[in-house]
Every structure is written in structure tokens, then in C-alpha cells.
């Protein structure tokens, strides 16, 4: 499966700004990521897929600066974490239960070092809530929101600082299929509007193919395949290429076992 990787990699590396070179991560003497080398294209949506425990979330945490690396090099030029230039949507919504939806959304503006008047912060928060289609829920407390609404608020919170990089860690894992699809499309729309670089961890192969421009396949702490989805789709009929891509990703994830 890895035979096609260099070919795909070349297309992914074009216009890239985030670069990992032989990155190792060890946690409690256990090797979680092993010599990861890749680049992420700016303004594109990239999915990280792979079986449970393969290191997807760790890789996302490395990019967010939440997990130190044990070896190798990570270059992320021109991103200031303290000014909210990186947004993160976690697997669980992680809303602060003592703040209402709007206060939760504007929280990053209070936390990162930006001097904005309160009225402006509230306006920005309200705008983000409208974009994720829960404008009416601004005054509601997290316990009054459904799971889908909480996740929408979480997405709005990640976008409120207008980040340059958006990281999403299986954000739709706990949602039903209909909501998954709706929120997936919503995230794509919001990212495209902003020409945002987004990296999303997902279990779903179909979701990765549908939503992303590039797919990075991981297994046992290593990258085993990288695919330029948009290019692959245009080179063949959409339905046919989707089926082929699905099969290719599945085989890479499973190590060739059917």
C-alpha cells in the first residue's frame, strides 16, 4: 500500500506550511508516533484516518502544541497560539457548564491575548453562533442544549478567534448519521469560506473521502498512505473513484487484511 505514498505526497506538499520531519512521540516509554514525515497543504481540508490507537489524536495534539515531541522537527511558521491562531474542536464538546452558549463561544477571545471591547466580543460570538445555525441558543446553558447543538457551539468556539489552522478530533463521533453529515458539510462550508487549513481526525473512511481534499492514512504510529482526494476524484468518475479510494484506504488501515 505504501507504494503509492510518494506520488500522493508530492501533490500534498505543494503550497504547504506545516511540516513534520521524522517526528517521534513517546508517552510513558511507549512509542506512539514513529518517524512521521509529512506536510499539510494550506487552505485545504486534510483527514487523518486509521484504526483506534494508531496515533491520529496524538498527531493532532502535536500540531496543537498540546503534546511535546520526543524527536524530529515540527515547523509551523507564522502561527501564534496565544492569539488564537489555532482552533481545536474536541471529541467531546467540552463546554464550560457554568457559562451559557454565547459565553462559551466567546471564551477563547477572553483567554487569548486580544484586546477587544466586550460588545465586539459578544457580536463576534453571536455571528459564529449564527454561522453554526444556533443563534437562538445564545442564552441557553450547556445542559439545555442537545448533543448536536453542543457540538455546533464547540465548532463556533473554535472559529471565534478566526484561526488560521483548525484541528478537529473526531468531532462527530457521538452523533447520529444525519447530524454527522449535516455538521460535516457545515464544517466544510465554513472552512472553504475562510480558506482555512483544517485537519480532521476521523474513523469514517467515507466521511474522510466526502469532506476532505487530502487523506493521510495511519497505522501503528506511522503514515502508510497519503491521498490527494480531489485529484483522484477528477481523474475517474466520482462514484467509481470513491469506491476505489474507499478500498485503498481500508486496505492501508488494515495492513492489507480484508
Partner 1 sequence: MSSPLTRTLRDVLPVLVLAIFVLFGWTFAASWWELPKSLLPTPLECARAAWMYRQDLIGGFVGTGIAAVAGLSVAFVAGLLMSIVFEWFPWLRKAAFPYVMLLQTVPIVAIAPLLIIWSGYTFRTVALVTTVVCLFPIINAASAGLRRVEPEMSDLFDLYHVNKWRRLIRLQMPASIRDLVVGLKTAAGLSVIGAIVAEFFVGNGTRYDGLGTLMSGWQAMAQTDALIAAIVASTLLGLLLFGLINLLTRTLLSRWVK
Residues of the shown chain interacting with partner 1 in the complex, contacts defined by CB under 8 A: 61, 64-66, 81-82, 84, 86, 88, 90-94, 96-98, 107-108, 110-112, 141, 143
Minimum CB separation from partner 1 for residue 55, in Å?
17
In this structure, what are the phi and psi dihedrals at residue 129, rounded to the nearest 5 degrees?
-65, -40
Q: How far apart are CA 51 and CA 201, in angstroms?
A: 11
Nearer residue to partner 1 within complex by CB, 30 or 97: 97
Residue among 112 and 175 whose Cβ is closer to partner 1: 112
Question: Which grid cell sits at 14?
Answer: 505543494
88/172 with CB nearer partner 1:
88
Provide, rounded to whole angstroms, the least separation between the CB of residue 67 and partner 1. 10
- What is the β-pairing status of strands 71-75 and 16-27? antiparallel
Tell me if 160 sits within 8 A of 105, measured CB to CB: yes
Q: How far is the CB of 111 from partner 1 (least distance, A)?
A: 4
Buried b (16+ CB within 10 A) or exposed e, 147-172: ebbbbbbbbbbbbbbebbbbbbbbbb
Nearest residue (CB) to partner 1, 145 versus 253: 145
User: What is each CA distance from 3 to 6, 7, 137, 225, 248, in whole angstroms?
Assistant: 7, 8, 50, 8, 12
CB of 171 to partner 1, least distance (A): 11
- Nearest distance in Å: CB 58, partner 1: 13
Q: Which of 100, 95, 56 is nearest to 208 (CA)?
A: 56
Residue nearer to partner 1 on the CB measure, 112 or 122: 112
Amino acid at each position: 500500500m505504501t507504494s503509492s505514498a510518494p506520488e500522493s505526497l508530492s501533490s500534498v506538499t505543494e503550497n504547504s506550511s506545516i511540516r513534520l520531519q521524522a517526528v517521534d512521540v513517546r508517552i510513558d516509554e511507549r512509542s506512539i508516533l514513529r518517524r512521521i514525515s509529512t506536510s499539510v497543504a494550506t487552505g485545504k481540508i486534510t483527514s487523518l484516518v486509521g484504526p483506534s490507537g494508531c496515533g491520529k489524536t496524538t498527531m493532532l495534539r502535536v500540531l496543537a502544541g498540546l503534546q511535546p515531541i520526543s524527536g524530529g522537527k515540527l515547523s509551523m511558521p507564522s502561527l501564534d497560539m496565544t492569539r488564537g491562531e489555532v482552533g481545536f474542536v474536541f471529541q467531546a464538546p467540552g463546554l464550560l457548564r457554568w457559562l451559557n452558549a454565547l459565553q462559551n463561544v466567546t471564551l477563547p477571545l477572553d483567554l487569548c491575548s486580544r484586546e477587544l471591547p466586550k460588545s465586539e466580543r459578544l457580536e463576534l460570538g453571536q455571528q459564529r453562533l449564527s454561522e453554526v445555525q444556533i443563534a437562538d441558543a445564545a442564552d441557553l446553558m450547556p445542559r439545555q442544549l442537545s448533543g448536536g447543538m453542543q457540538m455546533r457551539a464547540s465548532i463556533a468556539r473554535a472559529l471565534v478567534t478566526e484561526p488560521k489552522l483548525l484541528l478537529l478530533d473526531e468531532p462527530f463521533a457521538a452523533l447520529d448519521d444525519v447530524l454527522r453529515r449535516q455538521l460535516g458539510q457545515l464544517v466544510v462550508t465554513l472552512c472553504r469560506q475562510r480558506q482555512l487549513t483544517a485537519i480532521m481526525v476521523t474513523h469514517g473512511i467515507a466521511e474522510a473521502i466526502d469532506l476532505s481534499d487530502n487523506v493521510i492514512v495511519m497505522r501503528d504510529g506511522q503514515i502508510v498512505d497519503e491521498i490527494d482526494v480531489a485529484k483522484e476524484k477528477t481523474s475517474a468518475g466520482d462514484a467509481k473513484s470513491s469506491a476505489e479510494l474507499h478500498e485503498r484506504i481500508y486496505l492501508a488501515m488494515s495492513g492489507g487484511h480484508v
